[in-house]
Structure 1
Amino acid sequence: MESVIIRSAIVYMFLFVVLRMAGKRTLSEMTTFDLILVLIISEATQQALIDDDHSIMGGMLVILTLVFIDFILAMFSSKFRIFDKIINGVPMFLLENGTLHLDRMKKARVQLEDILEAARKTHGLESIDEIKSAVLEKDGSISVVPKYKDKLLGV
């Protein structure tokens, strides 16, 4: 039983690191290729977690171990700000006051079309000139603040 717990913990941490390195946008919006990759990863993960143990108790132990690790990480993230930044990352400005940060966009694997798509979906904006700022949030979504918001507020 100890080997199931140890395998579960190792696989959880490995997947966490790999998905963190993949970037926020990978987790936010999945393409068909991403879905296929997730399905293949899940099958490989299942095999790594249970090995030859196909018992109900073994499966329950894997689930409990994974949930426990997730609970501990969430608890540390809520108590320690630096841990939260390491685990969940921080929001990143991709566009500020009309200036695109191409280095950040490249690092986050975000294209101008992604920002424009978020602007269309949230505010009906059609041009980069209508956007005051765009932020890649911790969850991988892009928040857009339109320039016209300042005019509406009388700024």
Structure 2
Amino acid sequence: MQDAPLFFPDWAVIGRTVILGLLSYVAIVVLLRLSGKRTLSKFNMFDFVITIAFGSVLASMLTSKSVTLGQGVVAFAMLIGLQACVTFASVRSSRFQDVVKATPAILYYRGAWREDLMKRERVTKEELEASVRQSGKGGLDRVGALILETDGTISVIGTEELGDERALPPGAGR
């Protein structure tokens, strides 16, 4: 039985990884510049899936001998095209947008926890309180709203920053 190499089989494998890494990087940068800023935004779950898929394609290109640079570039272009199609359809059809995009949820509003929404969204008070601390607010008395955004982040809106509330999602008895 032949022993498997501990670090790498030979220098050719390392050279291939370095060359593919450099060329893949250039290809990604060029494709992303051509496709625009929206491609890497994280507005919703679909954007997150595209970002993860980009990483998976790059990892396959760098570590698998069976995936060529051409296949990887085509996969990147296909993902960018898919992202463009989904965003194009989302902008033009509210019904399609409802299918592919989540809606933000107000989990805390003017001193009241929305426990029904917290359960549905699987978010605990402790997680929301951690977001309050991370925002630099010392207590909930300084928080007007906590919003679970479509990308999974928590927006902490101070009581003084609520303003006319037109930017808040519907709900919380407003």
For normalisation by structure 2, the TM-score amounts to 0.50
Partner Cα separation in structure 1 for residue 133 and residue 60 of structure 2: 39
Take 1:59 and 1:149, find their aligned partners in 2: how far apart are those partners? 46
Equivalent in the alignment of 2:67:
54
Decide which of 94, 115, 120 is 1:107's aligned counterpart.
120
SS state of the match for residue 156, structure 2?
strand
Q: For the aligned residues, what is the CA RMSD?
A: 3.3
Name the structure 2 match of 1:63. Answer: 76
Structure-2 residue corresponding to 1:137:
149
Q: Which one has a bigger Cα radius of gyration?
A: 2
Q: Post-superposition, which runs of at least 4 consecutive aligned residues in structure 1 deviate over 6 A?
A: none
Equivalent AA in structure 2 for residue 68 of structure 1: G
Matched, 1:118 2:131: yes
Alignment of 1:2-151 (within 5 A): 20=45, 42=56, 46=60, 54-122=67-135, 124-149=136-161
Shift of 1:104: 1.4
What's the offset of the Cα at 1:61? 2.1
Larger proportion of helix = 1
The answer to whether the 8 A contact 1:116-1:126 is kept is no
State the percentage of identical aligned residues.
Answer: 22
TM-score by length of 1: 0.55
Q: 1 or 2 for the larger relative contact order (CA 8 Å, sep ≥6)?
A: 1
Unaligned residue ranges in structure 1 (runs of 5+): 1-18, 21-26, 28-37, 151-155
**1:95 Cα deviation from its structure 2 partner:** 0.9
Shift of residue 134, structure 1, vs aligned partner: 1.0
